């Protein structure tokens, strides 16, 4: 077992998820920071997000991650330190860190995740890396160490990761630049084109998340925005059909990349993949119609995650709690030297 405390971190572009072994708890916060006057941290996490699109011009609110990789190292280090300090009740104690990383990035980008923890001054005694898709599989209760073919699709905010696992390792993985953010943008554009109505990103996200229930009720989404012609604020009902049609192109991109991965998968792994089907996870995988369209497009059964936002960090928690899973994690020190 781990001596002292240990943390499992899934640094998502939109949400940072951290598991604490000591508290056996998961923290989920927006991966956002608000900087005032170019230097002072004004807010972080969910409270920075609350100010997004509303803050005065001297406060800069940003996501330090972009497309699944660290874009703003300084602010990312600050955020990690704040969150880890908060989770320890205000004072840092030595701990081990297991951090999930995408597979389809460069060695330098991977090393940056390791360096991030090392340089964040969080008293790291040990830093281990876990491929995100492997953690996803564990978090979804798949027997990743013994299965010979597991297809995991994680639809996040900036990215979608499509991976094939076998015997606890990654066989193939592709990270594509589509996800919840692209869905929100498509909805904004469709609403603007159809109704001459400008809506904010948060409104578009709210529409996206409510489609499932609105379709059940047979209603449209009632939103507030600004009329482009009159410049005045108006209320409008947006039909769900318009929203769903606007997402088709992005759904097809995801389905196509799953097909490409399947075409490249060694045939020996096909039997298990066929038997198990696809494991679909990530926050944006909950979007209405996506699971059904993937099933139709690939002919494979689709298993939807029960906790799609948390599956990576749940997998990390299983690794921290159970020594028999430790072999899926690896050290990165010395890499690239």
Ligand X SMILES: Nc1ncnc2c1ncn2[C@@H]1O[C@H](COP(=O)(O)OP(=O)(O)OP(=O)(O)O)[C@@H](O)[C@H]1O
The residues that touch ligand X, with contacts defined as CB under 6 A, are: 12-15, 68, 156-159, 179-181, 205, 208-209, 282-284, 286-287, 309
Q: Which is nearer to Mg ion, 5 or 67 (CB)?
A: 67
- For residues 33 and 79, the answer to whether their CB atoms sit within 8 Å is yes
Torsion of CA 261, 161, 324, 15, to 10 degrees: -170
Q: CA dist 58 to 39, 41, 43, 49, 61, Å?
A: 10, 12, 13, 16, 10
- From the list 269, 243, 260, the residue with the least C-alpha distance to 298 is 260
Nearest distance in Å: CB 265, ligand X: 22
Q: Which is nearer to ligand X, 249 or 333 (CB)?
A: 249
8 in contact with Mg ion (CB under 5 A):
no
Q: Which is nearer to ligand X, 139 or 156 (CB)?
A: 156
- For residues 6 and 19, the answer to whether their CB atoms sit within 8 Å is no
CB contact set of 78 (below 8 Å; sequence gap of 6+): 33, 41, 44, 120
Residue 324 main-chain phi, psi, to 5 deg:
-70, -15
For ligand X, the nearest residue by Cβ is 180
Nearest distance in Å: CB 103, Mg ion: 13
Residues 179-208 contacting Mg ion, CB under 5 A? none
Nearest distance in Å: CB 30, ligand X: 9
Question: Per-residue x/- marks for Mg ion, 30-59, CB under 5 A?
Answer: ------------------------------
Nearest distance in Å: CB 116, ligand X: 14
d(CA 280, CA 154): 6
Nearest distance in Å: CB 125, Mg ion: 26
Q: How far is CA 48 from the centre of its chain?
A: 18
d(CA 106, CA 111): 9
The listed partner (Mg ion, ligand X, none) that binds 68, CB under 5 to 8 Å by sort, is ligand X
The only residue of 8, 64, 139, 156 in contact with Mg ion, by rule CB under 5 A: 156
Nearest distance in Å: CB 68, Mg ion: 7
Token pair for 42: 């004004």
Q: Which residues bind Mg ion (CB under 5 A)?
A: 12, 156
């Amino acid at each position: 077992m781990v001596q002292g405390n240990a943390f499992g971190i899934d640094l998502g572009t939109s949400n940072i998820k951290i598991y604490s072994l000591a508290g056996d708890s998961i923290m989920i916060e927006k991966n956002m920071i608000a900087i005032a006057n170019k230097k002072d941290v004004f807010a972080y996490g969910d409270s920075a997000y609350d100010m997004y699109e509303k803050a005065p011009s001297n406060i800069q609110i940003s996501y330090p991650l972009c497309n699944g990789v660290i874009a703003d190292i300084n602010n990312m280090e600050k955020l990690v330190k704040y969150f880890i300090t908060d989770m320890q009740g205000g004072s840092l104690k030595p701990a081990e860190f297991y951090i999930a990383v995408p597979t389809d990035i460069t060695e330098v980008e991977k090393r940056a995740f390791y360096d991030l923890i090392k340089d964040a001054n969080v008293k790291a005694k040990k830093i281990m890396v876990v491929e995100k898709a492997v953690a996803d599989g564990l978090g979804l209760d798949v027997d990743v160490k013994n299965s010979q073919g597991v297809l995991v699709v994680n639809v996040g905010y900036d990215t979608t990761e499509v991976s094939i696992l076998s015997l606890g390792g990654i066989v193939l993985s592709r990270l594509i630049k589509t996800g919840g953010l692209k869905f929100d943008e498509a909805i904004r554009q469709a609403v603007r084109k159809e109704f001459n109505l400008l809506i904010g990103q948060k409104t578009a996200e709210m529409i996206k998340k409510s489609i499932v229930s609105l379709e059940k009720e047979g209603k449209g989404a009632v939103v507030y925005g600004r009329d482009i012609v009159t410049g005045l604020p108006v209320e409008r009902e947006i039909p769900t059909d318009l929203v769903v049609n606007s997402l088709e192109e992005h759904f097809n991109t995801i389905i196509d990349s799953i097909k490409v991965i399947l075409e490249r998968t060694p045939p020996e792994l096909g039997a298990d993949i066929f038997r198990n089907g696809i494991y679909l996870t990530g926050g944006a995988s909950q979007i209405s119609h996506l699971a059904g369209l993937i099933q139709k497009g690939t002919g494979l059964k689709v298993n939807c995650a029960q906790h799609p936002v948390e599956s990576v960090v749940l997998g990390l928690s299983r690794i921290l709690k159970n020594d028999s899973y430790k072999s899926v994690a690896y050290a990165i020190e010395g890499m690239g030297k």
